[in-house]
Structure 1
Amino acid sequence: MALSAEESGRLTGLLTEHAERITQRWTEIAAASLRGRLSQAELRRQVQDLHRGMVSAGQGGAFDLDSEPAAELRAVLAEISRGRARQGFTASETAVSVYAVKEVLLGLMEAEAGTVTLRDYVAFTALVDQMGLFTVESFVRTRESLIADQAEQLLELSTPVVKIWEGVVAVPLVGTLDSARAQVVMERLLQTLVDTGSPYAIIDITGVPAVDTQVAQHILKTVVAARLMGADCIISGIRPQIAQTIVALGIEFGDIATKASLADALRHVLRLSGVDAGRRHPRRES
């Protein structure tokens, strides 16, 4: 929704002539909807930035939110939306702070009945609605970006690669192994193999609730990738139920060593390395 040059001029004149009154009342209305979750000083600064952006956009002739003169206003709306999204506000709370100017303009127009018409008010509110929609869209994009970042961080935290012995690293998997997570597992394992120079890697699936054909394929791809890096892989955590499922599905791990537990896998690797992994019994006092 764009205002004509005449409508834009009347709106700009109204905003400029009553600048202090508008920002004060706008801040009060917006503050009531936020219930003290934002400081009065910060909210007033945001309202003043919005007011200044509207005046700047209206001075360019026809007031169009998509136009070049409205670039400052769009930047302010986007900045407020991003900040509110990171601070935990809702999209409604963010948009209401913009829509609050409607009530302020209505009060001013009632006082300026001879200058501003009802048609002007309808046009002004349609423009404010467009500003609110722009705010919500910016808010949603920011929230989606935050959620994606958090999901990636959780994915990395849920797939740790740890060094459990000299030359031995382990990947304890917990939960479902989908394509996205399998890719993270592979990347982290390969990077750890490069960083540590470890010739052995243990993939422990004790915490994987079920192994189907897709999960098995992900594991096999990880093993092949590790072998290309010069590391031998051992799969541990093969519980009886999982073993039966693997047999029933006809999944073959080929020459990949499999063990029932992480401890068994570590003992196997130590034997391959020539390390005495036998149990040591305490000496008896004579």
Structure 2
Amino acid sequence: MQWWNSLVRWVQSDDGWRVVSEAVVPFVAILVAGVVAALIGRAALKRVVRLHDDEAKASAIAGIVAASRKAATWSSLGAEERTFTDHLAQEAEVRLRLLPVTGSGLAASWAEHQLGEIKRDSASYGHQPEQSLAEFRDRLLDWQSRPSRAKKLFRADLERWRYEDAEQATEAEQRQRDWKAERDGQRAAPASGSGPAAPARRADEPVEVTPFVPERRTPTAPTPLTDEHAAFRPTSPARHEPVRPREQAPTEAMPAQRDSSDDGDDDTDRYGDPVSATQVRDRTTPDA
């Protein structure tokens, strides 16, 4: 306790009080002010970050809800609108998954599964899209306001869906095996009813080949016709042969008559003796 008494006496002295008032008190004041300023800045920064996260979360939820509204009319959308809806849903899902909020990954997986269900239900008769969209929106808004509680609900739904999918896959495999066994049984039934199957022939076993002998046929005599029109029936089918033109015999050229105007003997031999006009009249008109 001696050192504490010495410190008290030194502070109460003029030199000690001057050091405390001029050095220690300003230092403590500056230190406290710095701590208070740091706390205020941290609170303000956390508020700004929280506001930014809330805006990003609201934007992602709005994108997911807009995609769900489009998915509710999936069966009536065109090819381009379906492509745009898928792009919008995938973008909103990625933004929701990347949020630095508790349970953002579970919320994105839950929203993806729900969008697929809404697409499948859009083509069913009696589907009520308003009720599904309202439930989808309320669950996401509940997650925005109370992420810890909504995270548990999302996890429970995902585990239940995973179990149902596994059960459905097992049932589908069992039905596939039953159908295959039934088909194999139907194929084996005709084979067993037709008789015992022939033993399989080995590849190295010689095969006995019977030579092919053509059948010889004896010529038969033609049967004579006995009907009344046998005499007029042709014995063989008529043949149309082309008519060949007749060949004409070459004509011999007559020898040219030589001019015998100067030779009187040749005229007498060719035309005979000259006849008078009276003889000609008697020959032509014998009655005159």
Q: Which category of TM-score, normalised to the shorter sequence, fits these structures?
A: under 0.3
If each structure's strand is expressed as a fraction of its own residues, which one has the higher value? 1
TM-score (norm 1): 0.25
| TM-score, normalised with respect to structure 2 | 0.24
